[in-house]
Amino acid sequence: MSAIRVAILSIAALAGSALAIGAAAAPAKPALWSANISITPIGAHLVGNPNAKVRMVEYFSYTCSHCADFSKLGDLPLKAQYIDKGLVLFEYRNLVRDPVDMTAALLARCGTVGAFAGNHRAIFAAQPVWLDKVVKASDAQKTSWYQGTTGQRARKIAADTGLFAVMQKRGYTAAALNACLDSEVAQAEITGMTNIALNADRVRGTPAFFINGREAGVTAWPAVKTKLDAALKGS
C-alpha cells in the first residue's frame, strides 16, 4: 500500500471518529417532550419543548375544585396531544389562597423535579377526601393552623387533613415531607408566584390560563383545548 493511500485512509478514519464524537456529544431530543422539565427563575415548573409554537401558563390553587376538575379532565390529554408532541410548552404556577393550599403546594414540590407532575395529579385526585376533612376540622384544629412558623402550621394541616397520607402513598417518608414543608426557599417561591399572579397578571380566580401571554378567559378543558388549537393555527 502506498504512503499516500495510507495517509488518505488515516485521515478518513480520523474524520469518521470526529463525526462519531460529535454525534455522541449532541443533546438527544427526548422521546416525549413531557420528559423535558425545568424550574423557571420564579420557581415554576416548565414542561415541554422550549421551541414550541404555543406557551401556556396555568395559575392554580390546590383548594380550588375547578382546578381539580381541570386536572382530572385535562392533564392527560394536554400531555399526550400537545406537550409530548412538542406543540405546547406548559408552565405550572401556584396561586395560594390559604394555609391549606400552601401546605399542598409545598408537598407537591417534594422529590425530584420530574416527580412534580405526579404529585400534582395525586393531590388533586384526592382533593374530595382531604378537603372534606378541612371542612370537618374542629375549631381547635383550625386555630392551630395559624400558629407557629409556616412549616409548623403546614405539618399540623398535613396531618389533620390526610395530605401526609396522600404523599406517603407515593413513597415519601415523614422526614422527607417535613423537610419539604420547612423549605423557606419553596415557601418564598410559592408566595412570589402568588404575588405575580395577583399584582402583575391581575388573576382574580383559578384556574387561570395564559396562552402566548394573553389570558384565555376560559377554565374548563374543552374550552382550553379550543383556545390551544386556535393558537396553533395562528389565530
Give the pLDDT band of residue 22 (cuts 50, 70, 90). Answer: very low
Residue 23 lies in a domain: no
Asked if the structure places residue 203 within a domain, the reply is: yes
Nearest to 179 by CA among 162, 167, 193: 167
pLDDT at 235: 72
Cell numbers for 208, please give them: 387561570
Does residue 58 register a pLDDT over 70? yes
Whether residue 26 is predicted with pLDDT greater than 80 in this model: the reply is: no
**The pairing of beta strand 88-94 with beta strand 54-60:** parallel
- Domain hosting residue 80, numbered range: 33-232
Tell me, yes or no, whether 27 lies in a domain: no
For residue 15, being part of any structural domain is answered with no
36: helix, coil or strand?
Answer: coil
User: What are the Cα distances from residue 125, in Å, to 20, 70, 119, 154, 224?
Assistant: 47, 11, 10, 20, 20
How confident is the model at residue 110, as a pLDDT?
98
Residue-wise pLDDT tens digits, 206-228: 999 999 999 999 999 999 999 99
Summarize the confidence of residues 2-10 as an average pLDDT: 38
Asked if the structure places residue 113 within a domain, the reply is yes
Distance of CA 117 to the CA centre of its chain: 5
Q: What does residue 185 show for φ and ψ, rounded to 5 degrees?
A: -65, -50
Distance CA(146)–CA(196), nearest Å, equals: 24
Q: How far is residue 151's CA from residue 177's CA, in Å, rounded to a whole number?
A: 10
The closest alpha carbon to 125, from 77, 171, 73, 175, belongs to: 73
Burial of residue 143, with CB atoms counted within 10 A of its CB: 0-12 exposed, 13-18 middle, 19 or more buried: exposed
The average confidence (pLDDT) of the chain is 90
Q: What is the CATH classification number for the domain harbouring 37?
A: 3.40.30.10
Residue 7 lies in a domain: no
28 pLDDT band (50/70/90 cuts)? low
Write the secondary structure of 66-106 as one string of H (helix), E (strand) and C (coil). Answer: HHHHHHHHHHHHHHHHHHCCCCEEEEEEECCCCHHHHHHHH
Provide the grid cell at 154: 403546614
Q: Report if residue 127 sits inside a domain.
A: yes
Contacts of 199 (CB under 8 A, 6+ apart): none
pLDDT for position 31: 82
Residue 95 CA to residue 99 CA, distance in Å, equals 12
Q: What would the pLDDT profile of 178-198 be if each residue is shown by its tens digit?
A: 999 999 999 999 999 999 999
Report yes or no on 211 lying in a domain.
yes
Compute the average pLDDT of residues 61-72.
97
pLDDT per position as a tens digit, 96-146: 999 999 999 999 999 999 999 999 999 999 999 999 999 999 999 999 999
Which residue in 106, 162, 96 sits closest to 129, CA to CA?
A: 162
Note the pLDDT of residue 230: 97
Reported pTM: 0.86
- Looking at the 3D structure of the chain, how many domains does it have? 1
